[in-house]
């Protein structure tokens, strides 16, 4: 029962709220006391956004910038431009707006073009801004594409299953991208639980020993097995015991990714309510019909069946 | 005969089809059970495409996008444009198509230019799309160029050759790019074979011990040698034995690449049918004529000659 | 008292000026004897600039380049251009300047456009320069965004605090970015001090032993503790002793960053004047009001209170 | 005298020409037997070019592409274009050339613009090519900027100097860029020499033991010291002995670079003719005049003075 003092979490349960690690692997921690802009990172925020939100943000930015410049050009007035054909306030504004889009994207058809000093200066600044925005968009898009990620899918539950005559805690995961190859994979599983220590209630952290904590590559799925023997801090725990000790199993996977030639990491955690008893995972790969390849069935990752010891 | 339990492959031969690792180093595994778009990665697919296919895809994308926008502009009608000189349906469509290419690439000559609201709006969107496509193309092109790769060429066959009075399994490889420098290179060779275990037929995996598993750098070629002595799981195996046990030798090379300042990996495998007996590799480097440098002859990599013990 | 000979610093105090490492982690060393341009790196300088200075530099570059090209076009003369509407020297120069911005940013409205050979040639070169400048700006912007950084905030002072009945030297730090996750963190603390050695006054370097030098992740803050016991080179040192020995504590932190999938490092140092006696850090995290998460209070990082042993 | 079998070089001197490693760290090896385009890597070649050559290549490429497209447009004929003002063959060709530069850089002033189908199609292709070239240029420029490099300067000679009553082989180096910080530096020094082995003349490789092979950081210079004692393969060697044994000392440095957050490597070598006897390096750092910083004098890196034991 090796207690682990180096987790980076403290032992005082009074100051902690909720779980330590969320299912998606982020820490359940909020930061305060520094201005938002010091804590905020534009690049990371744009990197972590879902795709639809990311492109939506870009489009909204494009509309906003052009709206602002359209207002400026409108304020400068149509007399500083050549080639405006529309008439009326509304028409002039629209010409200004589309002149702005032409300038920002550097298309520059040129029917409408700036004559006066103010119009010319603002257009010179806008085209430079377009230039830079493009550079920034390129960088962020490349960052999104090329960001090393593990792309692992974890089973929704951890199970207490029969194992070599006794029991073991098991969960499994697989790389779900077709083209990814993870090698040299290591896994570390810790348990965080509230225990009595010299009369005080404190959080303790334990390394959970695994049947196997390293594989050379992950072509298929991997079932991680923690034998529930006398060395385990949760030996003979019932679901009730787990709930009482506020048990959280957290998992950290580290591997080398061939595609990025980089180390990738992924974390997740299971709290007591995500642990099921007396169930067993069903097999999730089979030989192909032509016998020439092996098929991993990702949809079976979360499937298990009753299996009493 | 160290059996290796950490390969990431299972031991049940009934569920496996074909070889484990393909010659090009990919795993002979297919994934199923998740929607295509979750398993698919556009970036990786574009990264791994052959050059001609990659540029073909870009060109096809360019044609398609412009065709779609040409249709939209055509649907909006020529009355919303200024400067169209062509007449007739066909001519108008062509003008629309080339207006679209001008807009997408942000060339914007401006002879034909949008007047109406719909035409202007669609053009504003198309130029922004062109902008973004460019950014994406830049990212993918950079990704293709800068992707760390080992660029190793492996001999087509592995040989059983005379070695110190006995025999050894040998294969060799070399870095074939002129400018690459691989250092700190490690190699790992495993054998996968079907064996009888407690009456059942199971896959077993063995680490093959090597005469040398590390070199400091790879300026030349490297002949990898596995001595076929009593410690080898395939000691005294004939070609027939190898076939019966469905033998597959798989190889993983890992090195540090000076050009990318990154770790690179490459895998390959030899099945029983790619192993030849009683042959020996011929030497593949020589002194240059002026005596000032050494020449590696890559065309001799696959060459061997008969050599009975 | 393990003396450390591998710091990379020499032992002769006569040749050293000031502290070894600045608070921001840079070395307090200047290089001479090579031309500026060999020692200078444009990319790194642009990478390390504060944001406002970076964008200011880009804008100044844009103005300068366009001013130079405006002069060249003006020298070539308006007769080589078509479409100039302005009259007078001043007006012509302005037209040239804005023609230059149009060309450099590749907007190219086209009202003013080059007719003569010289004007055409210079415009062809300028547009290519714009092209390349854009490429360079994209690269540098991406470099700025994606540069792996630790984003750690260190307490302004190190404290000598009560610890297990004795005393310990303590300082603390936290990652202040919302989205960052540092794992596998290691810290190394050294002391540089002037000591008498065989009658000579020399600099000696010591590794300071820490209560904990590794944490698995840094979701919160970390208080680094060096127990001031008999094994410490600064055991029983008073503030006066520290000053006399010109004591400098320098700190190097190394961790794996999830966002960049890269190793990041940060250094800092505390000289004797930044070490306070008989003070203790106050706690800097608390449970959120809803009890569902934990809040790190970064503004309390530097706060401590009197605490006499 | 630890002989080193893992250098990656063979032992047969008949097949080797010249030194193993060039002064600039490249291997003195040429590859043959594969088509040039398989061995060639455009990206690496562009990455490794000197700056002036790189920009020269870009400019030559720009001229060539535009010349080719000018020829195509000229062949299509001026009747497919609108707005051509020049007359005569020469004038028309120039208009075509500058129309091409406008299109390739996507400036598109639009005075000259394509009317006919062929002109339009070729212009559509050229603008797309310009688009892609830009993307490629961006990638290569970024690659050049951001490529991790050690930027170390090695002393031109290695010296045999007095050392602790005996002698030692010494050379030194320093990081010459102002902004670079190398940490965790390791050095490995090998000797390659021709020796008699069982009557045959073979190359043997030895690890040279160093007084110190690791420093935590490299703020200053580092003098690498190999004590010439009984454990050294070149103990009591004279200049004549070194020449006879065709001695080559090769050096490999590996460090972590803060700027790139990456591992960088640099190699060099000293042959017998670059080793001087009975000389000693002079000190190369001093306190600044204001006593607040330390100055590294890079111009003294190669300086030494006579010093007979």
Rounded to 5 degrees, what are φ and ψ at A199? Answer: 85, -15
What pLDDT sits at residue C289?
Answer: 86
Length of chain D: 309
Q: Does B114 touch chain A (CB under 8 A)?
A: yes
Please give the C-alpha separations between residue B87 and each of B78, B96, B150, C74, in angstroms, as whole numbers.
10, 12, 57, 42
* C/D interface, count of CB pairs below 8 Å: 192
Strand partners, A169: A160, A226
Return the minimum-mean-pLDDT range out of A12-16, B18-22, B135-139. A12-16
What pLDDT sits at residue D178?
Answer: 83
Return the minimum-mean-pLDDT range out of A84-93, B224-233, C167-176, D7-16. D7-16
Q: Does A283 touch chain C (CB under 8 A)?
A: no
Cβ pair D18:B291 closer than 8 A: yes
Write the DSSP string, chain A: --B-S-SS--S-GGG--S-SB-TTS-BSEEEESS-HHHH--HHHHHHHS-HHHHHHHHHHHHHHHHHHHHHHHHHH-GGGEE-----HHHHHHHHHHHHHHHHHTT----SSEE-SHHHHHHHHHHHHHHHHHHHHHHHHHHHHHH-----EEE-SSEEEEEETTEEEEEEEEEE--TT--EEEEEEEEEEEEEEEETTEEEEEEEEPP-S--EEEE-SSEEEEEEE-STTSTTTT--HHHHHHTT-EEEEEEEEEETTTTEEEEEEEEEEGGGEEESEEEPP-EEE-TTSSSEEEEGGGTT-EEE---
Dist. CA B236–CA B241, nearest whole Å: 9
Residue A61 in this model has a pLDDT that exceeds 90: yes
Longest dimension (CA), chain D: 90
Q: Which two tokens stand for residue A301?
A: 């990752």
Question: pLDDT tens digits, residue range C218-231?
Answer: 888 899 999 999 99
Nearest to B252, CA basis, from B213, B196, B220, B284: B213
ipTM metric = 0.83
Contact list in A for residue C90 (CB cut-off 8 A) is none
Nearest to A262, CA basis, from B121, B221, C259: C259
Residue D102 in this model has a pLDDT that exceeds 70: yes
Structure letter (DSSP) for residue D140: H
Whole-structure pTM value: 0.87
- Pairing of the two strands B221-227 and C262-271: unpaired
Nearest to D225, CA basis, from D242, D211, D208: D211
Q: Under the phi-then-psi rule, with left for phi > 0, alpha for psi from -120 to 50, and beta for the rest, what region is B57?
A: alpha
Per DSSP, chain D holds a count of helices (H) and strands (E) of 6, 17
Q: Which two tokens stand for residue D220?
A: 């200053």
What pLDDT sits at residue A52?
Answer: 93
- Residue of C108, C111, C145 to mutate for B, most B C-beta atoms under 10 A: C108
What pLDDT sits at residue A120?
Answer: 94
Q: Does D136 touch chain B (CB under 8 A)?
A: yes
Nearest to C101, CA basis, from C78, C77, C79, C123: C123
Question: pLDDT tens digits, residue range A70-95?
Answer: 999 999 999 999 999 988 899 999 99
What torsion do the CA atoms of B143, D122, C133, C118 make, to the nearest 10 degrees?
A: 160
What pLDDT sits at residue A13?
Answer: 67
Query: Do residues D160 and D247 lie in contact, with contact meaning Cβ atoms separated by under 8 Å?
Result: no
Contact list in D for residue C29 (CB cut-off 8 A) is 219-220, 293-296
What pLDDT sits at residue D38?
Answer: 83
Residue B188 in this model has a pLDDT that exceeds 70: yes
Dist. CA D295–CA B66, nearest whole Å: 61
Q: Which two tokens stand for residue B225?
A: 């040698």
Query: Do residues B25 and B254 lie in contact, with contact meaning Cβ atoms separated by under 8 Å?
Result: no
Position A309 confidence tier, pLDDT thresholds 50, 70, 90: low
Distance from CA of C54 to the nearest CA of A (A): 12
Strand partners, C161: C168
Q: Does C94 touch chain A (CB under 8 A)?
A: yes
Residue A162 in this model has a pLDDT that exceeds 90: yes
Write the DSSP string, B9-36: --S-GGG--S-SB-TTS-BSEEEESS-H
Position D198 confidence tier, pLDDT thresholds 50, 70, 90: confident
Q: Which two tokens stand for residue B2?
A: 């160290």
Question: pLDDT tens digits, residue range A105-148?
Answer: 999 999 999 999 999 999 999 999 998 998 898 889 988 888 88
Structure letter (DSSP) for residue C21: B
Q: Which residues contact A261 (CB under 8 A, 6 or more apart)?
A: B147, B148, B260, B262, B263, B264, B265
Question: pLDDT tens digits, residue range D266-301?
Answer: 999 999 999 999 999 998 888 888 888 888 899 999
Dist. CA A84–CA A96, nearest whole Å: 9
Contact list in B for residue C138 (CB cut-off 8 A) is 138
| C180/C281: higher pLDDT | C281
Q: Does D106 touch chain A (CB under 8 A)?
A: yes
| C200/B100: higher pLDDT | B100
Position B27 confidence tier, pLDDT thresholds 50, 70, 90: confident
Contact list in B for residue D132 (CB cut-off 8 A) is 58, 137, 141
The residue behind tokens 């802009």 is A37
Position B80 confidence tier, pLDDT thresholds 50, 70, 90: very high
Strand partners, C170: C159, C225
* H-assigned helices in B112-161: 117-146
Dist. CA D266–CA D252, nearest whole Å: 6
Cβ pair D294:C113 closer than 8 A: no
Helix H or strand E segment including C214 = strand C214-217
Average pLDDT taken over every residue of chain B: 89
What pLDDT sits at residue A70?
Answer: 96
* A/D interface, count of CB pairs below 8 Å: 6
Rounded to 5 degrees, what are φ and ψ at A249? Answer: -100, 120
Position B2 confidence tier, pLDDT thresholds 50, 70, 90: low
Rg (CA), chain C: 29
Q: Does D139 touch chain A (CB under 8 A)?
A: no
pLDDT > 70: percent of chain D:
97
Question: Which residues of chain C from 13 to 32 reach within 8 Å of chain D, CB to CB?
Answer: 14-18, 20, 26-32
Cβ pair A101:B48 closer than 8 A: no
pLDDT > 70: percent of chain A:
97
Please give the C-alpha separations between residue D299 and each of A138, D156, D287, in angstroms, as whole numbers.
42, 12, 16
What pLDDT sits at residue A102?
Answer: 93
Distance from CA of C165 to the nearest CA of D (A): 34
Cβ pair C58:A132 closer than 8 A: yes
Rg (CA), chain A: 29
The residue behind tokens 């698995």 is C216
Angle at D73 between CA D72 and CA D75, to 5 degrees: 65
Position A22 confidence tier, pLDDT thresholds 50, 70, 90: confident
Cβ pair A110:D109 closer than 8 A: yes
Return the minimum-mean-pLDDT range out of B177-181, C110-114, C283-287. B177-181
Residue B309 in this model has a pLDDT that exceeds 80: no
Q: Does A106 touch chain D (CB under 8 A)?
A: yes
Angle at A121 between CA A115 and CA A122, to 5 degrees: 100
Instruction: Report how far Cα D31 is from the mean position of its chain's Cα atoms.
Output: 18
Dist. CA C274–CA C268, nearest whole Å: 12
* Residue in D closest to C100 by C-alpha: D107
Position A240 confidence tier, pLDDT thresholds 50, 70, 90: very high
Rounded to 5 degrees, what are φ and ψ at D51? Answer: -55, -50
Query: Do residues C76 and C99 lie in contact, with contact meaning Cβ atoms separated by under 8 Å?
Result: no
* Residue in D closest to B135 by C-alpha: D135
What pLDDT sits at residue D2?
Answer: 64
Question: pLDDT tens digits, residue range C242-254?
Answer: 999 989 998 999 9
* H-assigned helices in D79-116: 88-104
Q: Other CB atoms closer than 10 Å to residue B116's CB: what's the count?
A: 16
Q: According to the per-residue pLDDT averaged within each range, which of A69-83, A175-189, C31-45 is highest? A: A69-83
Cβ pair C110:B106 closer than 8 A: no
Rounded average pLDDT over B207-225: 91
pLDDT > 70: percent of chain C:
97
Question: pLDDT tens digits, residue range B103-123?
Answer: 999 999 999 999 999 999 999
Dist. CA B151–CA B176, nearest whole Å: 6
The residue behind tokens 């006897």 is D277
Q: Which two tokens stand for residue D129?
A: 């090519």
Tell me which chains share at least 3 CB pairs under 8 Å with chain A: B, C, D
Q: Which two tokens stand for residue D236?
A: 């009591």
Q: Does D130 touch chain B (CB under 8 A)?
A: yes
Cβ pair D134:C131 closer than 8 A: yes
Question: pLDDT tens digits, residue range B38-49?
Answer: 888 888 888 888
Dist. CA A181–CA A217, nearest whole Å: 7
Residue D99 in this model has a pLDDT that exceeds 90: yes
Average pLDDT taken over every residue of chain C: 89
Q: Does C56 touch chain D (CB under 8 A)?
A: no
Rounded to 5 degrees, what are φ and ψ at D86? Answer: -70, 155
Strand partners, D251: D189, D268
Q: Which two tokens stand for residue B153?
A: 């060429």
Dist. CA C32–CA D285, nearest whole Å: 9
Structure letter (DSSP) for residue B186: E
Helix H or strand E segment including B271 = strand B262-271
Please give the C-alpha separations between residue A270 and each of A12, A27, A169, A247, D261, in angstroms, as whole numbers.
21, 13, 11, 9, 33
Q: Which two tokens stand for residue A268?
A: 């997740």
């Amino acid at each position: 029962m090796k207690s682990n003092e180096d987790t980076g979490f403290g032992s005082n349960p009074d100051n902690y709220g909720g779980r330590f690690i969320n299912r998606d692997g982020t820490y359940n921690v909020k930061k305060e006391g520094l201005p938002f802009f010091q804590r905020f990172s534009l690049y990371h925020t744009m990197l972590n956004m879902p795709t639809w939100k990311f492109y939506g943000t870009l489009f909204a930015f494009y509309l906003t910038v052009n709206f602002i410049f359209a207002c400026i050009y409108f304020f400068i007035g149509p007399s500083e431009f050549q080639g405006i054909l529309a008439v009326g306030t509304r028409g002039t504004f629209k010409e200004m707006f589309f002149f702005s889009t032409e300038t920002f994207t550097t298309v520059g058809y040129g029917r409408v073009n700036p004559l006066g000093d103010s119009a010319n200066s603002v257009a010179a600044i806008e085209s430079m801004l377009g230039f830079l925005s493009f550079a920034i968009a390129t960088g962020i898009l490349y960052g999104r594409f090329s960001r090393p990620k593990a792309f692992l899918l974890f089973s929704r539950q951890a199970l207490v299953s029969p194992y070599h005559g006794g029991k073991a805690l098991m969960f499994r995961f697989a790389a779900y991208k077709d083209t990814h190859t993870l090698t040299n994979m290591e896994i570390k599983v810790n348990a965080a639980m509230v225990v009595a220590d010299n009369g005080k209630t404190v959080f303790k952290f334990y390394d959970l020993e695994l049947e196997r904590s390293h594989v050379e590559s992950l072509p298929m799925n991997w079932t991680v097995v923690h034998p529930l023997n006398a060395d385990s801090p949760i030996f003979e725990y019932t679901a009730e015991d787990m709930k009482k000790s506020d048990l959280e199993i957290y998992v950290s996977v580290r591997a080398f990714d061939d595609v990025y030639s980089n180390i990738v990491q992924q974390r997740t955690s299971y709290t007591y309510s995500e642990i099921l008893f007396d169930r067993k995972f069903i097999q999730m790969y089979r030989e192909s019909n032509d016998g020439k390849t092996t098929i991993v069935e990702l949809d079976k990752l979360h499937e298990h069946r009753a299996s009493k010891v």
